[in-house]
């Protein structure tokens, strides 16, 4: 069996590393395509190194651009690689333009598509990620869901085959748990051993807030971006706020001529340094889907700078609160969550063996 995996962004590197490790243990040949959607060194190369992810067989170097331009270029180049490699199955991850391009190119060549992190829904079609994940799911033959809620979302859209006997008819829907939980278990001790970020930044554990802002709904809306940074700037008067700045966010801040005097802006971080900052933060403030979960896995309360989330179980459990991009709600949410204790025992994300289950199912299905 030959599996071709398609990645392009930080969250995909993390997820793919957990599956790739299990593929190598089984002796299964994997061909890896990196589209180049995240091309900054600290958002790409360092992740491959720290996660022990094999060097990409294809680096497409697509980089930034409009959604149509980026996706179209990826489609063209991914199709060439697929025709050359002729894989048995193609693995795509998450909800980015890389995910969509990979799924579309593969499906049109009648090669089976397996989607890791299938079934998530925010029900906000203004988010490009929502469009990507819905179309990818409906192109996919095997849908690896992280939670039962994701399985239920697919059932509502008519994708319902959850039979246990393999081989069987497609599409196949399976709750394997969350590969990001696998990654959290893998990275926690490794970060403690190898990262010096707290010492280098002179930070004390549980004495700072970690923030990230990168999602288009926030960065591309000047009013929302201003509200977010004004709120963070106010909070930073009382407790240090550390914000690794995404390249797109840095550009947009320059466009609106906003200069924060209190928030400490730093360059994008490698995986282990970011994990170390997450584990030791008193609170995480983010608009990232993945970091919402990483906060929970590391037992840190979270405030989410969005109006909705695909990870509804975290909000329902009271470990995450949605505040949108309103300055007052941001400050209120931080004040409410900053002293909250998290036990981290929400079992809906599985047992940390999602990567193993993905490979077992792919192997059984191929036979």
* Catalytically annotated residue among 214, 246, 298, 366: 214
Rounded CA separation 6/58 (Å): 9
Among 158, 223, 153, 146, which Cα is nearest to 183's?
146
- Closest by CA to 117, choosing from 153, 82, 88, 81, is 153
First to last CA, the chain: 9
Maximum distance among all Cα pairs of the chain, rounded to whole angstroms? 60
Distance, CA of 120 to CA of 152 (rounded, Å): 10
Q: Around Cβ 221, how many Cβ atoms within 10 Å?
A: 14
Nearest by Cα to 242 from 272, 296, 271, 202: 202
Cα–Cα distance measured from residue 292 to residue 319, given in angstroms and rounded to the nearest whole number? 10
Scanning the structure block, which residue is given the tokens 């289950």? Answer: 357
For the chain, how many residues are written?
A: 367
Here the tokens at position 274 are: 């970011």
Give CA–CA dist 173/155, Å, rounded.
Answer: 9
168 is catalytic: no
Count CB-CB contacts under 10 A for residue 84. Answer: 10
Q: Catalytic site residues?
A: 214
């Amino acid at each position: 069996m030959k599996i071709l995996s398609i990645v392009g962004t930080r969250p995909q590197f993390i997820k793919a590393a957990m599956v790739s490790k299990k593929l190598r243990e089984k002796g299964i040949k994997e061909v890896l395509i990196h589209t180049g959607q995240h091309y900054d060194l600290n958002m790409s190369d360092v992740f491959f190194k720290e996660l022990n992810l094999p060097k990409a067989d294809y680096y497409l170097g697509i980089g930034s651009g409009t959604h149509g331009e980026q996706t179209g270029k990826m489609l063209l180049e991914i199709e060439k690689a697929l025709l050359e490699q002729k894989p048995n199955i193609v693995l795509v991850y998450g909800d980015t333009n890389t995910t969509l391009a990979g799924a579309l190119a593969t499906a049109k060549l009648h090669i089976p598509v397996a989607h890791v992190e299938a079934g998530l829904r925010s029900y906000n079609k203004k988010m490009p990620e929502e469009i990507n994940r819905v179309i990818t799911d409906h192109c996919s033959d095997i849908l690896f869901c992280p939670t039962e809620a994701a399985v239920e979302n697919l059932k509502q859209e008519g994708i319902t085959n959850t039979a246990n006997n393999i081989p069987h008819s497609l599409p196949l829907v399976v709750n394997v748990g969350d590969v990001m939980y696998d990654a959290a278990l893998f990275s926690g001790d490794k970060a403690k051993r190898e990262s010096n970020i707290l010492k280098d930044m002179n930070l004390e554990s549980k004495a700072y807030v970690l923030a990230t802002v990168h999602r288009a709904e926030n960065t591309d809306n000047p009013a929302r971006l201003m509200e977010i940074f004004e709120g963070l700037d106010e909070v930073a008067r009382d407790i240090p706020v550390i914000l690794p700045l995404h390249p797109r966010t840095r550009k947009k801040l320059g466009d609106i001529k906003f200069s924060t005097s209190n928030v400490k802006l730093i360059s994008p971080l490698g995986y282990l340094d970011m994990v170390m900052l997450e584990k030791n933060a008193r609170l995480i403030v983010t608009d990232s889907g993945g970091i919402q979960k990483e906060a929970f896995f590391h037992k840190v309360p979270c405030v989410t700078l969005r109006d909705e989330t695909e990870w509804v179980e975290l909000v329902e459990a009271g470990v995450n609160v949605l505040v949108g991009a309103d300055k007052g709600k941001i400050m209120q949410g931080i004040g409410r969550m900053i002293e909250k204790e998290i036990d981290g025992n929400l079992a809906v994300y599985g047992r940390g063996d999602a990567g193993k289950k993905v490979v077992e199912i792919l192997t059984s299905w191929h036979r």
